[in-house]
Amino acid sequence: MAFLPIKNFELRRGLYVRLNGSWFSHPFPTNTFKIRTKKELQILQKLNKVEILFDPERSDPEGVDEELAEETAEPTAEPTAQNIVEGTPEAVKADIPKEAEAKPSVVEASPVKPTATESFNQYCEGFKKVDRAYQEAFRQSKAVMQDLSVGNIEGIQKAHDMVCALGDLLDGPDATTSMLNVMVSNEMGQGMFMHSLNVCALCLMIGKEFDLKEDEMRELALGAIFHDIGELNVPGKILLKRPNLSPSERDTYRQHPRFGKDTVRKFSSFPKSSLNVIYQHHERLDGSGFPMGLKGVEAISLFARIVMVVDRYDDLCNDPDIEKRLTPSEALSHLFVKQKSVFWSEAVVALVRVLGVYPPGSLVLLSNEALGMVVNINITNRLRPLILLYSEEASPYRAQVLDLEDHEEITICQNLRPRDVSREAAEFLNPRHMVNYLVENTPAELAPAPH
């Protein structure tokens, strides 16, 4: 039987419900579930931006032992990257500025939905194109950084050309998702250059969310790509020791925004708004940043407020210590929940919109115990992405893909870190390798992944 609409006051424990609405409009980690606890019921009854439906066939009849269900059930509404805040929907609405709330997706009607295999193959073609362009931009960024550090003015024009090429690349279909997968697949240890390129690309994506003009996008990107150029003037032994620095070493490191500003201000054609990013990207809204200890939104430039969020996000995901490295969802939650007084919430929310609940490249465990990687975002339902599945029995060059939109009974139940899976699984689920796989449509009856 199909889902039927139901009013909030008609809800009760034991109903199997589906929530239709923005993924930012409720705190549950999935859109379909059975109401088991009083807390879940109370939250659902207060929702006002979500259409609620229920499935009579999968719901418990009235009069079941609800108290037993409450005692034995695991609570569903837990803080996740889906809502990025702890608490009730009222807390969500209070904490997220109205102008930063998720925008409704506009999707053209398509007469025929492509199969999971067709979607995957199309995506792989786009990934290869974006990957080639990204690697070229990485090569150029190193040369441009070197030009500016030695006072070569040609570096400014090269930088303009590079960030314009990145911006043009992001205008292509599925280019944003491909870019995110490319970032995940790059080897760690590329240091400042890859970090700066990642920050630049993410800032361009956020710039679109803020509807920045073309010249503003270019200035934001220039500030982002050069935000750490001052580190070229910091002794290498200090950079390698972070974060275990002595007080004197820490003082030296904290001068790199000044070093960067002094390096770039020599070029009269370098935009002032981009220069502010270099100087202010380590400032914090609560005044705890450096080098000036600026405090408050008005004291820090718009572009710097954006770059500081993305800079911190990339650091959390790519910490040199693999034990401290966070998943993208964990990093987003950390920024919004634990550092909401430090970073500009509008930029954090924009980053969430760009990355989605389960960003491309995320390793996930499904409700049927299958292991997989998020390949592509479903813009109409961010909780139902396209998944590349892993199986020990699968051929190294043959894989199965699963479109969660077509399998309502299967959900994502956990984000995983690379260290949580076997070396073979991590290798198989590397985005850079997926372009070599032959894929086939996945049947509804999926076997659990081997433990």
User: Could you report the per-residue pLDDT of 380-392, keeping only the tens digit for each?
Assistant: 677 788 999 987 7
Taking the C-alpha atoms of residue 386 and residue 381, their distance in angstroms, rounded to an integer, is 11
Q: What is the mean pLDDT of the chain?
A: 80
Q: Is pLDDT at 99 greater than 90 in this prediction?
A: no
SS3 325: coil
Number of other CB atoms surrounding residue 237 within 10 Å: 8
Confidence of residue 252 (pLDDT cuts 50, 70, 90): very high
Taking the C-alpha atoms of residue 431 and residue 180, their distance in angstroms, rounded to an integer, is 10
Domains of the chain: 4-96 (no CATH), 116-355 (1.10.3210.10), 363-441 (no CATH)
What pLDDT score does 332 carry? 87
Listed range (48-62, 85-99, 118-132, 298-312) with the worst mean pLDDT: 85-99
What pLDDT score does 302 carry? 97
Q: Is pLDDT at 257 greater than 80 in this prediction?
A: yes
What pLDDT score does 73 carry? 42
Q: Is pLDDT at 451 greater than 70 in this prediction?
A: no
Q: Is pLDDT at 280 greater than 90 in this prediction?
A: yes
Q: Is pLDDT at 330 greater than 90 in this prediction?
A: no
Contacts of 255 (CB under 8 A, 6+ apart): 230, 234, 291
Confidence of residue 226 (pLDDT cuts 50, 70, 90): very high
Mean pLDDT over 3-29 rounds to 80
DSSP code, position 157 = H
What pLDDT score does 71 carry? 39
Mean pLDDT over 170-181 rounds to 78
Mean pLDDT over 150-176 rounds to 83
- Backbone φ and ψ for 243, nearest 5 degrees, come out as -95, 10
Q: Above pLDDT 70, what percent of the chain?
A: 80
Mean pLDDT over 255-265 rounds to 95
Listed range (117-121, 195-199, 210-214, 227-231) with the worst mean pLDDT: 117-121
Element housing 365 (H / E): strand 363-366
Q: Which of 82-86, 409-413, 417-421 reaches the highest mean pLDDT? A: 409-413
Q: Which of 49-58, 114-123, 364-373, 433-442 reaches the highest mean pLDDT? A: 364-373
What pLDDT score does 248 carry? 95
Mean pLDDT over 329-344 rounds to 89
Q: Is pLDDT at 290 greater than 50 in this prediction?
A: yes
Number of other CB atoms surrounding residue 262 within 10 Å: 14
Listed range (81-90, 229-238, 442-451) with the worst mean pLDDT: 81-90
What pLDDT score does 128 carry? 86
Taking the C-alpha atoms of residue 329 and residue 327, their distance in angstroms, rounded to an integer, is 5
Q: Is pLDDT at 299 greater than 90 in this prediction?
A: yes
Per-residue pLDDT tens for 352-376?
Answer: 888 877 888 889 999 988 999 998 8
Confidence of residue 273 (pLDDT cuts 50, 70, 90): very high
